[in-house]
A and B are shown apart, each in its own frame.
Chain A
């Protein structure tokens, strides 16, 4: 399609809004791009092209009638962990084979209400457990910047699709970095809202006290547009807060004068990738040039975060995943009695990482160990929360790397779970504390792999981090760089 020849210029909602192209045209083009690029990157588990075009048509009609909001006709991919009525929701697991969802997740229905077009279901680590997107029953996802590398995880499909230009934007979920880290590995923007900002209803729970839904986008401005649509109280999620929802887009103005940005010393550690540290330091300097004052702060319990996170997350997961027993939905393996059947079903259809975490979570809650592990982790969680409360008394937001390294080579970390887990050190803290975090591209390694800057804000401080992210982004050109696999060109 000729009008998409210069995709770089038109890959934004502006084209829709100005009538340069219709949603049907855009979706048609994207479906072809998905087909091409997914031969290499495997970002989608499934697409429903016919349905996507139907939605696009309806959106075009709505726009023609003059009742369109900013997201009307916007083509979006949805992580396979979110329920969409009439669609499968595998959570990248074999155990949900055959399941068709009878309802829409609240985040999904809010986008649909605005006229957004759902392109398909994005690949991920099984039940959102993983940091590389290698733990998927539907195959690993590849990084569009270099297919020998992982896209990050667990929202690897979401980040890869947005990076490759096979979706305008995507919904991901973040339990310990699963939006921010893949966004960083793929050179895109990822926003993890504060706990309670976006309804979790319809998000297949991994760790209920940590999970949040958020967008992965080309730009900070797109993330703000999506958050405005997604945020707000939902009567179906008791943990979603009744806080007013501002127009986040209107927060994206001005430079950083008058802002104090904290650099937590525990986030610039020995052993981290030199190129990552250099790029992030460079980004902090850039923020200073934009008018921000930089202050060093301390988050003293950071070194305990991984242990705390893996205890709490797996404990909750062990209960959340207990429902997959092959009675009411999903796959089943025959057994001699119900409990034997459960044992066989769960053995046959859960992948190894999921099993490992269920065992760990069951163990830390079990009689005799509950207090030493689970209860203690909840107490340390309090200390980590307090660290942030103290830090935010000294600054408006924090600047850190998203991860200690750039994307891993495929297979590089699969053998040693603990090495894999330690890679989450800079992201799990935000989930434990319930605060918000934004990942923005801030450079490239010598191997041409993206590096991400993390901007952390206090709970319900999304306007602040979006403003910082936007100001920084607009002063660089990292976000307009396109990967070699952009829209499948190198397939």
Chain B
């Protein structure tokens, strides 16, 4: 982890990665709070973790499969019921520019 005195997080950029607009006020508050949180979180760098396997799953299980069989899908109307906007059986989004 880099220089602990350098504010390393650019909150607006990260929020952009997460596709979430932030107002300037929000960005300012979050910037300060997140720097504070990261300061605490940085204590992990004190630990020697060389050679320690990362844990991704709390239980060591593998090979969980389903068989290749077709089940019922949702009725089309029900699939579209929750859509904020639909047309011609499709979920509408603003025109995508290629």
Contacts and interface: CB of A to CB of B under 8 A. Distances in A.
Direct contact between A and B judged by beta carbons closer than 8 A: yes
Interface of A: 98-100, 102, 195-196, 209-210, 235, 238-239, 241, 301, 303-304, 306-308, 310-311, 318, 322, 325-332, 334-344, 346-347, 350, 352, 355-356, 358-360, 362-363, 366, 369, 372-373, 375-383, 385, 416-418, 421, 431-434, 459
B34 A329 contact: no
A418 B59 contact: no
Contact of A383 (B37, B49, B61): B49
A91 to B, nearest CB: 14
12 contacts: A102-B78, A210-B58, A303-B43, A310-B37, A311-B41, A318-B18, A334-B94, A338-B93, A338-B94, A355-B22, A373-B44, A459-B59
B57 A332 contact: no
Interface in B13-54: 14-23, 26, 30, 33-34, 36-37, 40-45, 47, 49, 52-54
A111 to B, nearest CB: 23
A326 B40 CA distance: 34
B41 A196 contact: no
Contact of A433 (B47, B52, B57, B58): B58
A320 to B, nearest CB: 12
Contact of B66 (A235, A322, A356, A459): A235
Given A98-B84, A318-B18, A337 B94 contact: yes
Contacts of A327: 83-84, 91, 93
Given A239-B57, A338-B96, A418-B36, A347 B43 contact: no
Interface string B50-92: 0011111111010010100000001000100111110000010
If over half of A's interface residues share one DSSP class (helix, strand or loop), that class is named, otherwise mixed; here it is helix
A360 B36 CA distance: 11
Contact of B18 (A308, A322, A329, A418): A322
Contact of B30 (A325, A346, A359, A377): A359
B5 interface: no
Given A355-B30, A380-B44, A99 B54 contact: no
Nearest to B29: A352
B40 A379 contact: no
Contacts of B78: 102
A347 B52 contact: no
Given A239-B61, A340-B94, A347-B20, A359 B14 contact: yes
B20 A343 contact: yes
Nearest to A342: B19
B72 to A, nearest CB: 12
Contact of B43 (A304, A330, A356, A432): A304
B15 A359 contact: yes
A307 B44 contact: yes
A375 B58 contact: no
B58 A196 contact: yes
B20 A100 contact: no
Contacts of B56: 209, 378
A22 B75 CA distance: 38
Contacts of A235: 66
Given A332-B85, A337-B96, A372 B45 contact: yes
A294 to B, nearest CB: 28
A421 B37 contact: yes
Q: What 7 pairs between A and B have smallest CB-CB spacing?
A: A434-B58, A378-B54, A329-B82, A195-B58, A379-B49, A347-B21, A238-B64
Contact of A304 (B36, B47, B57): B47
